[in-house]
Amino acid sequence: MSETTARPVRRPISPAGAGMLAMLAAFVTLWPYTGAVRPGLWTFVIVTIVIAVGVSGILARLSLAAVRAGIRSPLVLLVQAIAAAMAGTATLASETAIAGLIPTGQTVRLIGLRLSQSVDEIMNGVAPIEATVPMATLLGLVFVVVAILIDQLVANRLVLLAVVFTSVVGVMPILISFGAINIVWFVMQAIVILLLLRFGARHDPRAPRGASFMVATTAGALTVVAALVLAPVLPVASALPGTGPMLTINADLNLGSDLRRPEGIEALTLVTSSANPPYLRLATLSRFDGDVWRPDRGDRVALSDGFGAPDWGDGIKTVKSEVSIRVTGVSSDRLPVPYAPESIKDAGEGWSAIPENRTVISRTADAAGSDYTVTAETAVPTLEQIRASSASGVPVPPLPDDLPPIIGELARQVTARADTDYDRLIALQNWFRSEFTYSLDAPVDEGFDGTGADAVATFLEKRTGYCIHFAGAFALMAQSLDMPVRIVVGYLPGTSTGEKRGENLIYSVSSDQLHSWPEVFFEGIGWVPFEPTATLGVPTDFIAAAAGGSGDGPEAPKPSSAPTDGASAAPTSSRGPRDDVGSSGAAPLRALNPTPVTLTVLGILVVLLLPMLVREVRRASRVGRARSGDAMAAWQELSDTLVDLGLAAPEAQTARVRADALALTRGVDPVALAPIVRAVEHASYAERTPDAGNLANPLRVVLAQLGASVDSRQRVLARLLPASLFARRR
């Protein structure tokens, strides 16, 4: 061959190979986002969408192989868009869709609400942001576009654009969140780039040997320039202004390095048959990891099944009430409810009850616009009853090993003169309210904002803060005394509007009337709230039966005239804390569910095994056709098996020559090869093709003998990574 003779042109990548390479590139692009958003539901959603886009693209291109390219590409794009929409609907909003797959108008409205909420979470969150449903919705929609674009670029062999696009999208969260350089991701991205250049690029026989190097260098330079130039000017790279009235609550009580006050808007209205409006709870938090308090996990049951048996025993007086609530300015995956709810009417579809903490949560529904009625029953023991009880009855989670000693020491010192658990807690409550001052600014200015163990230790030294610091410190000190304690996040009762519904007053609750307070569990009574926040609210103080209390509830001192942290004065409540605090807008309340992570891992395993599955389906189809006498199907399966095993399979080789070579070099039985060879020759050269009979049996014999002729490593590779899928035959 002369020096001027062109080198052979490499075969272009097949539809199956292109789809799997695109899925790999999408998964590597996804990886850096786990540093900006905690892994959870969104990772499962995106993995599902990427698989749906990739598999639908493979099937569509194989099915439309005979269609002209100008028509085929738009059809494939349409199929992928439909598959992605159905996958996203099934994982995020199945209860609003037809058959759980086809989106409806309600689905679109729900997605719109969640997108608005996700913007608030990005504005107010600190990386890594919690893996909430709104964040899953936002990232899911983003990766619908990302997955389809990557697939289209790879399939159309626009490798340079694919390299630039995946690199820019992948590096974006690192630049925006100022995270550490992810060396492993850069290595994986480099491997993907090499695979794209190797299998996806168009190969020009006239190109010099340095062409691939020039392409890689150009792609790398463009990637760096694009990342550095485009990232700072994208909308998500800058502080976003407020875009709407939907405000949320931080589930972890972790306000980060800066305290942000939400604008006061009406969050909800309520009407109650009770003499005083109740406090409304959204979530309880009893899992402390040393840094933040996490929302409690619990089994979910249908809302119609109720909340289970009451926490209190016989002899404890209770008061029943009915509360109608309308949510107007809050977008959340939890419904505000009074304690302790027994039943809820007209809440709509998609809501579940968590009996362990008597809260209401949903994976798909949004509280915004809800109008529902709650029947609640509250325990009101006498002073004698609660003193006779003990703070026990539920497990006490272990405290972190490195808890600052000042927390336990002060707890024991303050409660040294108390004889009962209730009196110890009252001593703690009174100590906080008398020895500490209320301040929104001091924790931020002095760098101890939040409820981490170190922040609590500093708060106990500085003796100033706001309700989250008081609740967090009280909870840790009570827990150090072996008492079961949790923190509640919710809303104050609000203020009367002067209007009535029937005989009942209507109350308005503002978004800046967010509140947090501790609760302690008493055997035979249930969870009892306390109010340690200095100068705010009504401290818990039960009345003795001999003094005329007879179990009507805690005494209600007059509210303090101290600052109310943005909360309007509220009517006296018969139970629980009274008045508090504006809090930071942040992520809606949702604990990490291990199920999405498990399903994500399973989804990744499916993708890794996808080549084997596709190859097995193709083999079964050909064997089935060979059974009915299809000679070319049998021959194609034999040829692809040779390619998978790494054996020579020249396309110019005739059937008889190949059969002789296999019998000579691989020990394949000539008797098994003979009927296949005769059928192929008749199909290729005879004017009339006779009935070849059942070719499946001799084909299986030949395939088994070929597998036995190679070592176990080649057989495993042939199964897991069948090379025949990655090369298009002429």
pLDDT in tens, 690-712: 666 888 888 999 999 998 888 88
| Integer Cα distance of 148 and 503 in angstroms | 58
Q: Which residue matches tokens 């059942």?
A: 694
Residue range 33-44: mean pLDDT, rounded: 81
Q: What is the pLDDT of residue 718?
A: 84
For residue 474, pLDDT beyond 60: yes
Beta strand segments in 347-405, E: 351-354, 359-362, 371-379
- The closest alpha carbon to 397, from 317, 471, 293, belongs to 293
301-302 β-sheet, strand order: 301-302, 351-354, 359-362, 334-335
pLDDT in tens, 666-689: 888 888 888 888 888 888 877 666
Q: Where are the alpha helices (DSSP H) in 125-274?
A: 133-155, 159-176, 183-195, 211-230
605 vs 115 pLDDT, higher one: 115
Q: What is the pLDDT of residue 406?
A: 92
Share in percent of the chain as helix, strand, coil (round to 5): 45, 15, 40
| Integer Cα distance of 312 and 381 in angstroms | 9
| Integer Cα distance of 404 and 650 in angstroms | 74
Annotate 66-93 with DSSP letters as a single string.
TS-HHHHHHHHHHHHHHHHHHHHHHHH-
Residue range 129-158: mean pLDDT, rounded: 85
217 vs 192 pLDDT, higher one: 192
Cis amide leading into 235 (omega within 30):
no
Predicted confidence band at 43 (pLDDT cuts at 50, 70, 90)? confident
371-379 β-sheet, strand order: 341-345, 371-379, 318-327, 266-272, 504-510, 495-501
Secondary structure class of 316 (helix, strand, coil): coil
Is the distance from CB of 154 to CB of 22 less than 8 angstroms?
Answer: yes
Q: What is the pLDDT of residue 423?
A: 93
pLDDT in tens, 104-126: 888 888 888 888 888 767 765 55
| Integer Cα distance of 75 and 78 in angstroms | 5
For residue 216, pLDDT beyond 60: no
Is the distance from CB of 578 to CB of 565 less than 8 angstroms?
Answer: no
DSSP code of 651? Answer: T
Cis amide leading into 340 (omega within 30):
yes
**CB under 8 Å to 709, separation ≥6 — which residues?**
666, 667, 668
Indicate the range of 221-225, 294-298, 403-407 predicted with least confidence: 221-225
Percent of the chain past pLDDT 70, that is, above it, reads 76
Indicate the range of 107-116, 538-547, 597-606 predicted with least confidence: 597-606
Predicted confidence band at 432 (pLDDT cuts at 50, 70, 90)? very high
For residue 237, pLDDT beyond 50: no
- The closest alpha carbon to 196, from 142, 151, 228, 226, belongs to 151
For residue 569, pLDDT beyond 80: no
Q: What is the pLDDT of residue 690?
A: 66
78 vs 614 pLDDT, higher one: 78
DSSP code of 487? Answer: E
For residue 244, pLDDT beyond 60: no
Q: What is the pLDDT of residue 604?
A: 58
233 vs 122 pLDDT, higher one: 122
Q: What is the pLDDT of residue 613?
A: 80
Residue 404 identity (one-letter amino acid): P
Residue range 403-421: mean pLDDT, rounded: 92
Indicate the range of 382-386, 590-594, 668-672 predicted with least confidence: 590-594
Residue 237 identity (one-letter amino acid): A
| Integer Cα distance of 108 and 114 in angstroms | 10
| 78, 122, 247, 253, 643 from 587: Cα distances, Å | 34, 8, 9, 10, 53
Phi, psi of 262 (to 5 degrees): -75, 155
**CB under 8 Å to 450, separation ≥6 — which residues?**
253, 254, 255, 256, 291, 292, 443, 468
273 vs 635 pLDDT, higher one: 635
For residue 131, pLDDT beyond 60: yes
Residue range 517-536: mean pLDDT, rounded: 88
For residue 605, pLDDT beyond 50: yes
Q: What end-to-end distance do the CA atoms of the chain give, in Å?
A: 23
Q: What is the pLDDT of residue 7?
A: 41
For residue 660, pLDDT beyond 80: yes
Q: What is the pLDDT of residue 581?
A: 39
Enter the tokens of residue 505. 């007053």
Average pLDDT, the chain: 76
For residue 230, pLDDT beyond 80: no
609 vs 88 pLDDT, higher one: 88
For residue 714, pLDDT beyond 80: yes
pLDDT in tens, 476-504: 999 999 999 999 888 877 888 888 888 88
Spans of all domains in the chain: 15-241, 266-547, 607-726
List the beta bridge partners of residue 698. none
**Per-residue b or e along 397-418, where b marks 16 or more CB atoms closer than 10 Å to that residue's CB:** eebeeebbeebbebbeebbeee
Percent of the chain past pLDDT 90, that is, above it, reads 13
For residue 52, pLDDT beyond 60: yes
| 102, 140, 570, 607 from 147: Cα distances, Å | 20, 10, 52, 14
| Integer Cα distance of 593 and 354 in angstroms | 14
Secondary structure class of 508 (helix, strand, coil): strand
List the beta bridge partners of residue 507. 270, 496
Secondary structure class of 662 (helix, strand, coil): helix
Predicted confidence band at 396 (pLDDT cuts at 50, 70, 90)? confident
Q: What is the pLDDT of residue 248?
A: 52
Q: What is the pLDDT of residue 722?
A: 85
